[in-house]
Structure 1
Amino acid sequence: MMNKPSTRKFPADASKIELTYTQRRRAVMDDDDEIERWEVSADVRDYTEGGEPILVSHVGDFTLYAFDPYQAGSWQVALEGRACSGQQIVRAIGKPGYAAPLREEVENLLDATGPAYLVLDTARLEPQWRGSGLGAYLAGSAIETLGRGCSGVFLVAGSLPDEPLIADEDVAASKLGQVWRSLGFAPLVDKVYVLNLGVTTLQKNMAAMRDALGLA
């Protein structure tokens, strides 16, 4: 059954949204640099012929971390220190001992397509772009780009304020959990969700979301 195209009116042409990826690393690296921080900006620009591109609308921002627990000896320390959701995710997926890999029960949930993992730490849309599911779609697009060579993605439900703020934290987490399920994320423990990148679930769900948003 095909998804009905969205009738949502966006403030600019959503089919022209661009994602810009920025990675900042210090020239002299320390333990914190054993994980990669990626900042992703979603924008609509007007490419006027012969001139510089003009920003039409800033859509939102996303922050992701990539790490290889077998290469980054202190990945747990780095993730706890740098990611907003780091402590909660480390408690859910990490073995005791900061040089340890992931818990076996977590690794067993994922198809080993690569040694690395992603954490979707923050996701924010500008208010005028919220309420359509576009935020989840853009997050999925960033995951597709940065997730090559990764086996899975982790996040804490509540990372994406694509809906009006909800005072009750548990209700908000449940509501946003439904949003993340639309990409293929599954609940792991304590509001932490996991996405298996070793199967085609993400690609299939992204295609369905493109249809629903009228971007296909």
Structure 2
Amino acid sequence: MLAQRIERPQPFRRRTPDEHPLRLLAVYTNVAKHRAPAVAVTGSAPCTPLVLSVPFPGGMSVPASSLCAMTSAMPKRPVSELPGDPARLHLHYGHGHPAVPYDYEDTLEPWHVTVTYGMAGDEEWEDEGEDGGGQAPVAGSKIGRLILWRLRDYTGDNRWEAVDAESGDLEVIVSAVLGRSGRTGYSAAFEKAVTHPVGDLLLLDRVSLDKEWRGFGLGPALAAEAVRRLSGGCCAVAVFPGMGEYPEDREQVTETYRLQAKKKIAALWESIGFQPFRRGVWLLDTALRRPEELMQARRAELRALGTAFQRPPSA
């Protein structure tokens, strides 16, 4: 195992483009060549956006037809439909626990991330409603949330039991990555898929936005930022793509509808560095450079979206 780890970084051992040091240049070159200008990001026909979440069983691997398609999460709705400037969004992180943990609280940590439009008391943006041609949201108003869980290693608890006691949805993820006993470490498949399969595991449970904010590519960008700040010391991040919302007419939810929904959601996760693992679970390897590169690409798209929103209609 040690010999394999030593061999992997050598240049002549690189087997995929992901491992090449010039990949960052390739990512930005492709984004620049193939992405439409920000002012032209208006989409075509409006589509029904989805909430990204875990609870629906299943999953689907979606091969990328090109690097651009794999690394892009472009908006589906016109910039003019944005309720406010996306550059003003703030993420607030929260986690509470008793001084003396009980049950499995030392093994499974919940992290709640609240997304607000600006911060209460902001004065810099008071005239935004006039400049943007509409009524901007109230500063500090909540527009979305994310839920993540940190599954700690080496606490003495059975990690599978800790997760199963909390949620059957999370158990689906953990069953795919842990060894059979739940105590002895990760599964052989996980150790093969992750560069350094030692340490904690971050579980991305839910990403949801208010309806008026969906369809602009904000979900993946916000998830990437949260993962960046909460994945320190974690060997990987795991998610189980699924439908979190359904149309009012449930008869529309055919098998074809579900497959298309899973396809769209999987593409969003892929745009921030997740790759299909097994049993519908997707993994983000925190030791790779690619997730960082994709996060920077999502940031660039978010900045472009904010610039397009701030541009006067006549421009």
Question: What TM-score, normalized by structure 1, do the two folds share?
Answer: 0.86
Cross-structure match for 2:285: 196
User: 2:243–2:261: 8 Å Cα contact kept in structure 1?
Assistant: no
SS of the residue corresponding to residue 242 of structure 2 reads coil
Q: What residue in structure 2 maps to residue 129 of structure 1? A: 213
Residue 11 of structure 1 deviates from its aligned partner by: 1.0
Q: Which moved more, 1:20-29 or 1:152-161?
A: 152-161
Matched residue SS, 1:144 = helix
Contact kept? 1:154, 1:193, Cα under 8 Å: yes
The counterpart of 2:233, out of the listed 149, 155, 159, is 149
Answer yes or no: is the 8 Å Cα contact 1:122–1:159 preserved in 2. no
Matched, 1:65 2:139: no
How big is the shift at 1:56?
Answer: 4.8
- Quote the residue 1:206 is aligned against: 295
The residue aligned with 2:195 is 111
Structure 2 unaligned regions, length at least 5: 1-29, 43-78, 124-137, 308-315
The share of aligned pairs that are identical, in percent, is 25
Does the residue aligned with 1:193 lie in a helix, a strand or coil?
strand
Q: Which amino acid aligns with 2:216?
A: S
SS in 2 for 1:39: strand
Preserved CA contact (<8 Å) 2:235 2:286 = yes
| Residue 56 to residue 25, structure 1, CA distance change in 2 (3 Å) | closer
Question: Greater share of helix residues, 1 or 2?
Answer: 2
Q: Is there any run of 5+ residues in structure 1 with no aligned partner, and where?
A: none
- Contact 1:121/1:159 (8 A) holds in 2: no
Match of 1:172 among 234, 252, 261: 261
Q: Give 1:41's aligned residue.
A: 114
| More displaced stretch, 27-36 vs 178-187 | 27-36
1:118–1:159 Cα change, 3 Å = farther
Point out the more displaced range, 145-154 or 102-111. 102-111
**CA distance in 1: counterparts of 2:219 and 2:84, whole angstroms:** 15
Q: Retained in 2: the 8 A contact 1:160–1:176?
A: no
Structure with more relative contact order (C-alpha pairs < 8 Å, separation 6 or more)? 2
Which segments of structure 1 move beyond 3 Å, counting only runs of 4 or more? 46-49, 54-57, 163-166, 168-171
- Any idea what the Cα deviations from partners look like across 1:93-138, whole Å, max 9, x if unmatched? 1211132311022022112286111000111111011112210110
Instruction: Give the SS at the match of 1:42.
Output: strand
Q: TM-score, normalised by structure 2?
A: 0.61
2:93 to 21, 26, 30: 21
Cα pair distance change 1:198/1:72, threshold 3 Å:
farther
Please tell me whether Structure 1 or Structure 2 has the larger radius of gyration of its CA atoms: 2
Q: Which residue of 1 aligns with 2:18?
A: none
The answer for the alignment partner of 1:91 in structure 2 is 175
Q: 1:12 aligned to 2:101?
A: no
Q: Do the aligned partners of 1:79 and 1:90 also contact (CA within 8 Å) in 2?
A: yes
Q: Read off the aligned partner of 2:185 and give its amino acid letter.
A: P
**Cα gap change, 1:114/1:25 in structure 2, threshold over 3 Å: closer, same or farther?**
same
Moved more, 128-137 or 25-34: 25-34
- C-alpha deviation, 1:64, in angstroms: 0.5
Q: Deviations over 1:38-59 (max 9, x none)?
A: 000011125345xxxx635422
Q: Which structure has greater strand proportion? A: 1
Over aligned residues, Cα RMSD in angstroms?
2.6
